[in-house]
Chains A and B, each alone.
Chain A
Amino acid sequence: MKARVFITLKSGVLDPQGEAVRHSLGTLGFQGIEAVRQGKVIELTLSETDPARAEAEVRAMCEKLLANTVIENYAVELA
Chain B
Amino acid sequence: MKAAVIVFPGSNCDRDLAVAFERATGRKPAMIWHKDQDLPDGLDVIGVPGGFSFGDYLRCGAIAARSPISRALVRFAERGGHILGICNGFQILTEAGLLPGTLMRNAGLKYICRDVSLTVQTTDSAFTNAYAKGQKVTFPIAHHDGNYETGSDTLKRLQDGDRIAFTYDDNPNGSIMDIAGILSENRRVLGMMPHPERLNDNQLGGEDGSLMFHSLTQALVSA
Contacts and interface: CB of A to CB of B under 8 A. Distances in A.
B149 A13 contact: yes
Given A65-B62, A66-B58, A70-B150, A16 B102 contact: no
Contacts of B106: 16
Please indicate which of the listed interface residues A13, A64, A66, A68 has the most CB atoms of chain B within 10 Å of its own CB: A68
Given A13-B149, A65-B62, A70 B105 contact: no
Given A20-B109, A70-B150, A65 B58 contact: yes
Contact of A16 (B59, B63, B109): B109
A72 B19 CA distance: 37
B101 interface: yes
Nearest to A42: B58
B95 to A, nearest CB: 7
Query: Chain B CB within 10 Å — which of A13, A17, A64, A65 has the most?
Result: A65
A16 B106 CA distance: 8
Interface residues of B, number: 21
Interface of A is mostly: helix
Given A16-B106, A16-B107, A16-B109, A71 B149 contact: yes
Nearest to B105: A16
Interface in B62-108: 62-63, 66, 94-95, 100-102, 104-108
B174 interface: yes
Interface string A20-34: 100000000000000
A68 B150 CA distance: 12
A71 B102 contact: yes
Contacts of A68: 59, 62, 95, 102
A10 to B, nearest CB: 10
Interface string B104-128: 1111110000000000000000000
A14 interface: yes
Contacts of B94: 70
Interface of B: 58-59, 62-63, 66, 94-95, 100-102, 104-109, 147, 149-151, 174
8 contacts: A14-B107, A14-B149, A14-B174, A65-B63, A68-B62, A70-B100, A70-B101, A70-B149
